[in-house]
Amino acid sequence: MSKKTIAVFSLFIASIFVINNIHAQDTIALQHGAHRIGRREDTMMQRWRGYGLGQFIHFGLYSILGGEYNGETYNGASEWIRSWNKLPKNVYDSLYKQFNPTKFNPDEWAAMAKQMGVKYVTITTRHHDGFCLWPSKYSDYTIVKTPYKKDMIGPLVKAYNKQGIDVYLYYSILDWHSKDWRDDIKTEDDSIAFARFKVFVKNQLTELLTDYPTTKGLWFDGTWDKSWKKNGAFTDSLEQYLKQLHPGLIIGSRFRADDLGKRHFDSNGRLMGDYEQGWERKIPENFAATHDNDWDCVMTFGENGWGYQKKWLGHWKTTDELIEMLTKCVSLDGNFVLNFGPKSDGTFRNEEVEAAKQIGDWMKINSAAIYNTRYTGWEKQDWGYSTISKAGKQAYLIIFNIPVSGKIRVHTKPNQDINKASFITDTNISLPIESVDYGYKLISVPQQVYKTPFVIELNIEQSKQKMKGQEENKHV
């Protein structure tokens, strides 16, 4: 062979090698990556998917301070106040001696949630400070050491379940109290201590699921540190253990790491966990951004801060804004979970009580558009958001922006006809529908001032034929 032939041949071999290598990189061999492709489809997960609206509760020692110390206001999130350099750590760590939510009435909490229309609640059993709201036998830093003495989680689970609301337990892996917790594992000592911490976590989680057997899922937090990321194998085996212990259990993507320490999505880009839990106060812009996964969005009334804050800093979301966020989430196949930060006496601040009531009043009329509905597959349209029933027979237009013409321009899928349109408040009265060019429908509503977002229900018929003009986009 001439030198030239050898060179060309080598290049050929090299190029095959490169191509093969690209494919090999597409799928990294993982023992602790995603164990499922696509959505989880069992009954429990379908129930989760149908919730639409949830409640989050942040309650703990930080609720006593309410974001203030010594007359000064902490600018960070109130449940993070322990990390404020103006607050001596021993002051925070002694707060448990005053923790006494004497006005805590689990039935009242559950009644408020029920009235608001929430289908599930997530409650902090142990936030980053390590303080446990249940009498854990594995910790010396629990509610039994406080003047209150009694368990809060058990009565809460019971009261919410009595109202038909599912309970999820929030649990932080990050733990400022445990001597064994580490943010990284650098030495042999670190790894010995963290090994003890892992046993502690497993014991506590087992205890929670055993003591509160109606728990539907665990909402994990504080899993972003290197110590946890270096323990992908452990996180995977713990998740599998918890699911065997508690069949149907739902755990989001914030829990574990893969072999290489990747979180949420494994090193091959596949979602780990039962739903994407990445959106803290963030809502994806469009359906593509959800990657067709289940997801939830946890939201605060304020701009930041989850625990009780005496002073509201910055913008405070109005009920209509929250309803818009709720409908946007549901229209993109996600659940919307609104956070509450009760005061240390165990009661809710008036603003939260009032907002819960207003959301509940709206839900009483419009919840058919929220519960057990899903993404319509339509593009986002100017008037607001849309959802569709599971069977695809009813679609809901949740209207936020009404055109001055009073004609709401709707674009369905090509094979969907609208048989009937009516206000959800009165489905006996049909609103006029006109078919216009390019498959649009104009639905006429009275030209008046609408004070709240409202819902139009559509009866959808799947047609075989495409509507004239809709099937093609001719350029002339």
* Residue 299 near ligand EAT by CB under 6 A: no
Measured CA to CA, the distance from residue 341 to residue 324 in angstroms comes to 21
Q: Which stretch binds ligand EAT (CB under 6 A): 76-84, 107-115, 187-195, 260-268?
A: 76-84
Within residues 452-471, the interface with ligand EAT by CB under 6 A covers none
* Beta bridge partner(s), residue 121: 55, 167
Nearer to ligand EAT by Cβ, of 281 and 390: the residue is 281
CA distances from 244 to 166, 172, 208, 250, 274 (A): 20, 21, 14, 12, 15
Contact 339, 351 (CB under 8 A): no
- The distance of closest approach from Cβ of residue 280 to ligand EAT in the complex, given in angstroms and rounded to an integer, is 6
Residue 395 is given by DSSP the state: E
* Residue 110 near ligand EAT by CB under 6 A: no
Q: Which stretch binds ligand EAT (CB under 6 A): 66-74, 75-83, 267-275, 459-467?
A: 75-83
Q: Which stretch binds ligand EAT (CB under 6 A): 74-82, 194-202, 416-424, 457-465?
A: 74-82
- The distance of closest approach from Cβ of residue 298 to ligand EAT in the complex, given in angstroms and rounded to an integer, is 6
What is the separation, in whole angstroms, between the first and last Cα of the chain?
59
Q: Which of 166, 221, 274, 294 binds ligand EAT (CB under 6 A)?
A: 221
Backbone phi and psi for residue 269, each to the nearest 5 degrees, phi listed first = 85, 15
* Chain centroid to CA 196: 30
Unique residue bearing structure tokens 């709707």 = 410
Nearer to ligand EAT by Cβ, of 51 and 80: the residue is 80
- The distance of closest approach from Cβ of residue 122 to ligand EAT in the complex, given in angstroms and rounded to an integer, is 9
- The distance of closest approach from Cβ of residue 142 to ligand EAT in the complex, given in angstroms and rounded to an integer, is 19
* Residue 59 near ligand EAT by CB under 6 A: no
- The distance of closest approach from Cβ of residue 28 to ligand EAT in the complex, given in angstroms and rounded to an integer, is 28
Q: Which among 384, 322, 383, 386 has a CA at the least distance from the CA of 351?
A: 322
Q: Which stretch binds ligand EAT (CB under 6 A): 77-85, 147-155, 185-193, 259-267?
A: 77-85
* Residue 445 near ligand EAT by CB under 6 A: no
* Residue 338 near ligand EAT by CB under 6 A: no
- Please report the beta strands in 352-439, taking only residues with DSSP state E, as ranges in sequence order: 373-374, 384-389, 394-399, 407-411, 416-423, 433-435
- The distance of closest approach from Cβ of residue 434 to ligand EAT in the complex, given in angstroms and rounded to an integer, is 47
Measured CA to CA, the distance from residue 460 to residue 335 in angstroms comes to 24
Beta-sheet pairing, 53-57 with 440-444: unpaired
Q: Which of 104, 120, 168, 306 binds ligand EAT (CB under 6 A)?
A: 306
* Residue 168 near ligand EAT by CB under 6 A: no
Q: Which among 202, 201, 110 has a CA at the least distance from the CA of 157?
A: 110
With contacts defined by CB under 6 A, how many residues of the chain interact with ligand EAT?
A: 8
Nearer to ligand EAT by Cβ, of 277 and 470: the residue is 277
* Residue 79 near ligand EAT by CB under 6 A: yes
- The distance of closest approach from Cβ of residue 423 to ligand EAT in the complex, given in angstroms and rounded to an integer, is 37
Measured CA to CA, the distance from residue 459 to residue 454 in angstroms comes to 17
- The distance of closest approach from Cβ of residue 255 to ligand EAT in the complex, given in angstroms and rounded to an integer, is 13
Measured CA to CA, the distance from residue 193 to residue 188 in angstroms comes to 9
Nearer to ligand EAT by Cβ, of 59 and 160: the residue is 59
Nearer to ligand EAT by Cβ, of 30 and 57: the residue is 57
Contact 387, 370 (CB under 8 A): yes
Q: Per-residue DSSP letters for 82-132? A: GG-TTS-HHHHHTGGGG---TT--HHHHHHHHHHHT-SEEEEEEE-TT--B
Contact 375, 335 (CB under 8 A): no
- The distance of closest approach from Cβ of residue 309 to ligand EAT in the complex, given in angstroms and rounded to an integer, is 12
* Residue 121 near ligand EAT by CB under 6 A: no
Residue closest to ligand EAT when measured from CB atoms: 306
* Residue 352 near ligand EAT by CB under 6 A: no
**How long is the chain?**
476
Nearer to ligand EAT by Cβ, of 190 and 225: the residue is 225
Contact 307, 79 (CB under 8 A): yes
Q: Which stretch binds ligand EAT (CB under 6 A): 40-48, 73-81, 83-91, 103-111?
A: 73-81
Q: Which of 34, 298, 388, 445 binds ligand EAT (CB under 6 A)?
A: 298
Burial tier of 105 (Cβ tally within 10 Å: 0-12, 13-18, 19+): middle
Given the rule CB under 6 A, which residues bind ligand EAT? 58, 77, 79-80, 221, 280, 298, 306
